[in-house]
């Protein structure tokens, strides 16, 4: 059995024992006692509130009407759609509920818009982050990895490369893919990009692991 599996098994056993012991000691106020030892309770009311906001969401300006028309299949993909999307994303007060519902539904036309934009600008961090968010609701891990790798290959500004590499790591880490290890193999240790990657790896290794209850 891999070491990671052993660790998870031991951690789960310890947590189970602590829960059982806490409930046994104070069966009337067990919820409070669990909070005392580090547990927290997930409040689904925020998610319910978001869902209600998304159901009520309507376009609030011409740009949003244009984009909703595109997402709903009434307008063809074009540079004008991409510009409208960029403008709305960077607006002072974006209509988050309106756009969030298209992300959460895994809207195919939204996906095509993001890919269209990345085909024009491979290293656009906003679009890469949007694609990462889209991936949370409609799995496209292979494509996400491929596009992040391409962005890392093509970005020449070393500060932007670091930003993209770090975003890449956090985008796919929940899926069990080690982006930094992949980048370490691609960029020689004596190159500027290689040095950045190795520094990011060291930073990750030096971070204490949080044990969540």
Tell me which residue range forms the domain holding 68.
63-103
Does residue 43 or residue 201 have the better pLDDT?
201
SS3 93: coil
Give a yes or no: residue 51 inside a domain. no
Is the predicted pLDDT of residue 5 greater than 60, yes or no?
A: no
Q: What CA–CA distances, in Å, run from 84 to 123, 210, 211? A: 19, 41, 43
Does residue 125 or residue 7 have the better pLDDT?
125
The proportion of the chain whose per-residue pLDDT surpasses 70, expressed as a percent, equals 75
Neighbours of 167 (CB within 10 A): 18
pLDDT of the residue at 28: 56
Give a yes or no: residue 138 inside a domain. yes
Same domain, 129 and 182: yes
Give a yes or no: residue 53 inside a domain. no
Among 13-22, 26-35, 88-97, 147-156, which stretch is predicted with the lowest mean pLDDT? 26-35
pLDDT bracket for residue 103 (50, 70, 90): very high
Give a yes or no: residue 31 inside a domain. yes
For residues 111-132, one letter each, b for 16 or more C-beta atoms within 10 angstroms of the residue's C-beta and e for the rest, the string is bebbbbbbeeebbbeebbebbb
Give a yes or no: residue 20 inside a domain. yes
With contact defined as beta carbons under 8 Å apart, do 124 and 89 qualify? no
Dump pLDDT digits (tens) for 137-163. Answer: 999 999 999 999 999 999 999 999 999
Is the predicted pLDDT of residue 1 greater than 50, yes or no?
A: no
Q: What CA–CA distances, in Å, run from 151 to 48, 120, 126, 134, 181? A: 36, 12, 12, 18, 16
Please state the rounded mean pLDDT for residues 18-22: 66
Same domain, 166 and 193: yes
Give a yes or no: residue 126 inside a domain. yes
Dump pLDDT digits (tens) for 75-101. Answer: 999 999 999 999 999 999 999 999 999
Please state the rounded mean pLDDT for residues 184-201: 96
pLDDT of the residue at 57: 87
The dihedral over CA atoms of 53, 58, 63, 65, expressed in degrees to the nearest 10, equals 140
Same domain, 33 and 74: no
Same domain, 139 and 203: yes
C-alpha to C-alpha distance for 147 and 141, rounded to whole angstroms: 10
Q: How many domains does the chain have?
A: 3
**Helical ranges in the chain per DSSP H:** 3-25, 30-36, 45-56, 62-71, 79-89, 96-104, 108-120, 125-135, 141-154, 158-172, 179-186, 192-206
């Amino acid at each position: 059995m891999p070491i990671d599996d052993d660790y998870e098994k031991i951690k789960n056993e310890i947590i189970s024992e602590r829960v059982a012991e806490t409930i046994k000691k104070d069966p009337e106020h067990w919820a409070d006692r669990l909070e005392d030892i580090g547990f927290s309770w997930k409040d689904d009311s925020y998610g319910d509130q978001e869902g209600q906001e998304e159901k009520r969401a309507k376009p609030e300006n011409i740009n949003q009407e244009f984009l909703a028309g595109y997402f709903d299949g009434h307008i063809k993909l074009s540079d004008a759609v991409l510009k409208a999307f960029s403008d709305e994303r960077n607006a002072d007060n974006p209509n988050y509920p309106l756009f969030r519902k298209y992300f959460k539904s895994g809207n195919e036309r939204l996906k095509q818009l993001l890919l269209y934009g990345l085909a024009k600008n491979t290293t656009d961090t906003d679009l890469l982050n949007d694609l990462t968010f889209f991936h949370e609701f409609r799995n496209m891990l292979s494509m996400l990895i491929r596009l992040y790798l391409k962005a890392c290959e093509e970005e020449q500004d070393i500060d932007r490369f670091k930003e993209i590499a770090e975003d890449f790591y956090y985008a796919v880490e929940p899926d069990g893919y080690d982006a930094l290890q992949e980048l370490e193999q691609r960029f020689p240790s004596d190159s500027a990009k290689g040095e950045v990657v190795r520094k990011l790896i060291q930073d990750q290794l030096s971070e204490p692991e949080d044990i969540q209850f």
